[in-house]
Copies of this chain bind each other. A is one copy, B any other.
Amino acid sequence: MYRSHNCGELRASHSNTEVTLSGWVQGVRDKGFMIYVDLRDRYGITQLYFDEERTPKAIIEKAQKLGREFVIQVKGNVIERASKNPNIPTGDIEVLVSELTILNKALVPPFTIEDKTDGGDDIRMKYRYLDIRRNPVKNSLIFRAKVAQEVRNYLSNDGFIEVETPYLIKSTPEGARDFVVPSRMNEGQFYALPQSPQTFKQLLMVGGMDKYYQIVKCFRDEDLRADRQPEFTQIDCEMAFVEQEDILNVFEGLTRHLLKEVNGVEVEKFPRMLYDDAMRLYGNDKPDIRFGMEFGELNAVTQHKDFGVFNNAELVVGIAVPGGNAYTRKEIDKLIDWVKRPQVGALGMIYSRCNDDGSFKSSVDKFYDQEDLAKWAEVTGANPGDLVCVLSGDTNKVRAQLSALRMELATRLGLRDPKVFAPLWVIDFPLLELDEGTGHYHAMHHPFTSPKPGQIELLDTNPGDVKANAYDLVLNGNEIGGGSIRIHDKETQAIMLKHLGFSDEDAKAQFGFLMDAFEYGAPPHGGLAFGLDRLVAILGGQETIRDFIAFPKNNSGRDVMIDAPAPIDDEQLKELSLKLNLKP
C-alpha cells in the first residue's frame, strides 16, 4: 500500500497516528538540525519533518538529497505543529518521518511547479504533464469534470438519455471544413469526423428517442483563431414534441443548476432579447449585459446639420462612457487611435464631453450646438461627467466597431467582473445570412433550422427577412450555445436546401437519408448545443479555454508535447490507397 492518507487529508485530530504518504517533493528547507519537506499530491500539501534528534541519520541524509519533484513515500507519526500555518488545510500538523523511500527521481523541471510559474506558454505546452501539476491547471481540469458531471446529473434526472453517436461519419460540403479519415476497407473512400452530431440527433428524434443528450467531441478543420481548437467538446441535446419555449426552459434550468452547484450563484429568470434588438442596442448578437452602455442611434438628432460625415452615414450611433469626461484630451486621442486600428476599423470617432454643470463640449462644436448635444446625451443616456462616443458609417460595420469599443471601455472600467453572471437568451435569429463576399445566402444556424411558421414564402422575395425559431444562450458576452426548432418534413427541407444552393442531386446525395427519414413519421423536434470548453472557462472566471483542456493544441493545430501530426509510413499510405501530393 503506497499511502494510508493523501496529502490534503491530515488534521490535528490525526495526531499520534502512524501514517504512510506518497507524493511529490514541492520543496525542501534544510535548516541543518531539522529538515522540512513539503509533500504534494492531487489533494494538497503536507509538511514532512525530519529532526536530527529523533530521525535516524541515514534518513536525514537521504532527505538532504531530495530534489524538487522527486516522488517519495514516507512513514511517520502525525504531530501538531508548534507554529501552525492557517493558509493550508493541513497547516495544523506535520509528519515526523521514520521511513523514507525514493520512488522515482526527477530532473529539475524546465519551469517552476508553482501557481505563478516562470514558464512561458510554449515550454508549458511541451511539458504539459508538468504544467498539469500546477494548481491553476489542475483545478481547472477538476472544475471541468465537476461541471460535466453536474450537466449529466441534471439532464439524466430530467429524463434525458445519453446516446453515443458515431465519430466515423460522412463528409458534407456544408459548414466548416471536415477532417476526413481514409477508409482502408472501402478503397478511395473517406469517413469524416463530425462537426456536430446534428443529423444523428435528428434521426434519434425520428426514432422516438425523445430527450437525447451527449457530451461529445466535435471537429472542425478551420484555420485556427486564437482560443479555438480543432477538436472541441459539445453538450448536445435534442427533444421531440417541443416548442422553443420548452427547450429554453430546460436549458435555462440546466444553466441555473450549474451556476448554483458550481458557482454558488442564484440567478433570476434569464432575460430574452430579440436578435434585432441585440444588434440595435449592443451591435452584437452576444451582448454582455453585465453593464449598460447601450447604443443610442443618433441619425434623427444629427442629420439636420451640415456635418457631411454624419449626413452621408447609414447609421450614426453612440454610447455614453460613465465618468468619461475625466479623460484628458490625450486619452481621448488614444481612444480614437484605438478605434482606428485595423482590428476595429473605424475611420474616426466624434465625442461630446458632458460637463458637470450640464454643458457639453464636443469635437464637432462647429456643427452642433448645446441643444443638439443635449439630445445626444439624452439618446445615449449620458449623465453629467460622462463622455458620449459616436461612430458612423454602414450599419453592420459601425455596429461591430462600436460594440468593440463598448467592450474595450467596459474592460478598462472594470465592468466585466468574472464573478458576476449575466445570462441572456437571444431569440428570433434570422434564418439566412448574406455572405457579402459571394452575394449568396447561407444558413445562419444550419440548413436544418426551421423558418418561423408562415414565413417560408418570404424565402423567394425577402430571404434576409425570414426569421427562425433559433436561439442562443449568451453568458457575459460569450455565446455559450445555441439551437433551433428543426425542419421535420421533406418538402420544407428540400426548399431550404434549394435556397442554400444545393441542386436536387446534391441534396439527395448529402442529406437523402435525413429527408427519407422525414417521410416515415418524423415528430416536431428541436434542440440545442452548448460549447463545454467555453462554458467551463466562463463559469471558472477565465478568459481563455486552454487551461480547461488537458492536452490542447497550439494555433497550428499541433500537439507539441507528442509532436503530432507527423508523417506516416509509405506502407501505411499504400494500404490506404493514397499518395502524397505536396504543393510545389
Within 8 A of B (CB), among A562-576: 562-569, 572-576
Q: Contacts of A145 on B, CB cut-off 8 Å?
A: 156, 161-163
Shortest Cβ distance from A569 into B: residue: B173
A58, CB-defined interface residue at 8 Å:
no
Q: With A104-B489, A520-B129, A583-B187 known to touch, is A164 a contact of B549 (CB < 8 Å)?
A: yes
Determine whether the beta carbon of A564 is less than 8 Å from that of B231: no
Tell me if B565 and A1 are in contact (CB < 8 A): no
Please determine whether B132 and A188 come into contact, CB atoms closer than 8 angstroms.
no
Answer whether residue A385 sits at the interface, using C-beta atoms and an 8 A cutoff. Answer: no
A107 interfacial contact with B, CB 8 Å: yes
CB distance from A182 to the nearest CB of B (A): 7
Chain B residues whose C-beta falls within 8 Å of the C-beta of A181 in the assembled complex: 179-181, 193, 565
Let me know if A175 is at the binding interface, CB within 8 A: no
Contact indicator B209/A42 (Cβ below 8 Å): yes
Chain B, Cβ-Cβ closest to A213:
B145
Segment from A114-122, A241-249, A437-445, A447-455 that makes contact with B: A241-249
Residue of B192, B243, B517, B564 touching A129 (CB-CB under 8 A): B517
Q: When the two chains form their complex, are residues A524 and B241 in contact, meaning their CB atoms are under 8 A apart?
A: no
Contact of A524 among B2, B513, B568, B569 (CB under 8 A): B2
Query: At the interface, is chain A mostly helix, strand, loop or mixed?
Result: loop
A567 interface neighbour in B188, B488, B574, Cβ under 8 Å: B188
Chain B residues positioned under 8 Å from A40 (CB to CB): 208
Contact between chains at A165 and B550 (CB < 8 Å): yes
A1 touches B243 (CB 8 A): yes
| A300: interface (CB < 8 Å) | no
Fill in one digit per residue for A15-31: 1 if any B CB lies within 8 Å of its CB, else 0.
00000001110000000
A581 touches B573 (CB 8 A): yes
Q: Which of B106, B166, B187, B563 contacts A582 (CB 8 A)?
A: B187
Whether a CB of chain B sits under 8 angstroms from the CB of A171 is: yes
- Which residues from chain B contact A231 at a C-beta distance below 8 Å? 166-168
CB within 8 Å of B: which A207-256 residues: 207-211, 217, 219, 221, 223-224, 230-231, 233, 241-243, 246
Q: Are B550 and A204 in contact (CB under 8 A)?
A: yes
Chain B residues positioned under 8 Å from A489 (CB to CB): 104
Q: Is there contact, CB below 8 Å, between B129 and A553?
A: no
Cβ of A521 under 8 Å from chain B:
yes
Partner among B41, B107, B183, B567 whose Cβ is within 8 Å of the Cβ of A557: B183
* In the bound complex, CA of A557 to CA of B553 (Å): 29
Considering only CB atoms, which chain B residue lies closest to A520 in the complex? B106
Instruction: Assess whether A219 is in contact with B42, with CB atoms less than 8 Å apart.
Output: no
A97 at interface by CB-CB < 8 Å: no
Question: Which residues of chain B are near A178, meaning CB under 8 Å?
Answer: 572
Q: How far is the CA of A164 from the CA of B549 in the complex (A)?
A: 8
Q: Residue A142 contacts which of B161, B522, B564, B572 (CB distance < 8 angstroms)?
A: B161
Q: What sequence of 0s and 1s flags, for each residue 455-495 of chain A, a beta carbon within 8 Å of any chain B beta carbon?
A: 00000000000000000000000000000000011000000
Q: Which residues of B contact A177 (CB under 8 A)?
A: 184, 575
Given A104-B489, A190-B567, A550-B164, are A559 and B209 neighbors across the interface (CB < 8 Å)?
Answer: no
A233 to chain B, nearest CB (A): 6
Q: Does A579 contact B (CB under 8 A)?
A: yes
Bound complex: CA A199 to CA B564 (Å): 14
Which residues on B sit within 8 Å (CB–CB) of A188? 567, 580, 582
- A residues sitting closer than 8 Å to B (CB atoms) are 1-3, 22-24, 40-42, 69-71, 73, 103-107, 109, 127-133, 138, 141-142, 144-145, 148-149, 152, 156, 161-171, 173, 177-193, 199-200, 203-204, 206-211, 217, 219, 221, 223-224, 230-231, 233, 241-243, 246, 488-489, 513, 517-524, 549-551, 553, 556-559, 561-569, 572-583
Task: Please list the 6 inter-chain residue pairs (A to B) with the smallest Cβ-Cβ separation, ordered nearest first.
Answer: A132-B207, A106-B521, A170-B564, A2-B241, A189-B565, A69-B521
Q: Report 7 cross-chain contacts, Cβ distance below 8 Å, ordered by A residue.
A: A69-B521, A167-B231, A173-B569, A177-B575, A199-B562, A200-B550, A577-B582
Q: A129-B207, A186-B558 are known contacts; what are 14 more A-B pairs with Cβ within 8 Å?
A: A41-B208, A42-B211, A71-B524, A104-B488, A145-B161, A164-B233, A165-B551, A166-B551, A167-B217, A170-B563, A180-B568, A185-B224, A189-B567, A578-B581
